[in-house]
Amino acid sequence: MENERFYRLGLVGHPLGHSLSPAIHSRALAAAGLSGEYRLYPIPPLPSSSQVLQVLLDRLRRGELHGLNVTIPLKQVVLPLLDWLEPAARRIGATNLLYCRDGRLVGDNADAAGFRLDLLRFTTAISLGCGHALVLGAGGAARAVTAVLLDEGWQVTVAARRAEQARIMAESLLPNEIEIVPLAGDCITALHRVNLVVNTTPAGMAPDLEGSPWPEGVALPAGSAVYDLVYNPADTRLLQTARAAGLPTRGGLGMLVEQAALSFERWTGCPAPRPVMRQAAGLA
């Protein structure tokens, strides 16, 4: 019977020491009455570790593993190694959810749906309508966030240190609707009124607790709200700076739980026990 399966799940990427996913999924499996484990599979920087990644994907294809999440820096790197992309992953050009279907490796993107759900909670709570969003970064998470913001009717500016990466991202989404600027103080302060700042970079993530993606000495946009995808620590330096300026803030724990719940449901076919998963992540 299906409920007698021992689910072997995990997270692949680097670094992984900050991850809360094992605790969240272990509690979810137990609450759903399922046997299984969720392990961390750290992949050292590519290309020297490409064989390690391929071995993991082969295990998934053979059924030795039942599902993998993908985090930085592999959300785009893994795409050519898959057999099929679900529409969300294909449009965004990044994946964080892998599974095997009919002998084929499939990639999907639960980041986008997870961000959409949590962003709606945030904007509803602070009565923030669609406006001008400034996205910091141009990696796999930025692709998901930008796609959601565009779909929800936001004007989007992407600020990134790697201009070419940002340009490629914009061209793959909606090139005529995404403004690109360098992640530098003078370029950011020159922007028209910004209502929402979203950090998609790992700056400030444990153990780099003093890190921040925001240029030193530059004030955050007056009247804006700040959303930081970093979830460990729950209170990043960026969020502290925003609160000190009187701005509403939200960290990445809510998005983390939502994408974990969507992954859990895809892998197991069972409803995700969201209250238990939120509790495991330290949310009320």
DSSP three-state, residue 163: helix
Q: What are phi and psi of 51, to 5 degrees?
A: -70, -35
Among 27, 75, 143, 237, the one annotated catalytic: 75
Query: Are the CB atoms for 202 and 175 separated by under 8 Å?
Result: no
- DSSP string over 91-138: HHT--SEEEEETTEEEEE-HHHHHHHHHHHHHHHHTT--S-EEEEE--
The pair phi, psi for residue 118, each rounded to 5°, is -75, -35
| Residue among 123, 69, 67 at smallest CA distance from 250 | 123
The three-state DSSP-derived secondary structure of 206-244 is CCCCCCCCCCCCCCCCCCCEEEECCCCCCCCHHHHHHHH
Q: Give catalytic status of residue 75 as yes or no.
A: yes
Q: For residue 8, give the nearest of 41, 31, 32 by alpha carbon.
A: 41
* Pairing label, strands 6-13, 35-42: parallel
Place of tokens 């969240």: 24
- Active site (catalytic) residues: 75
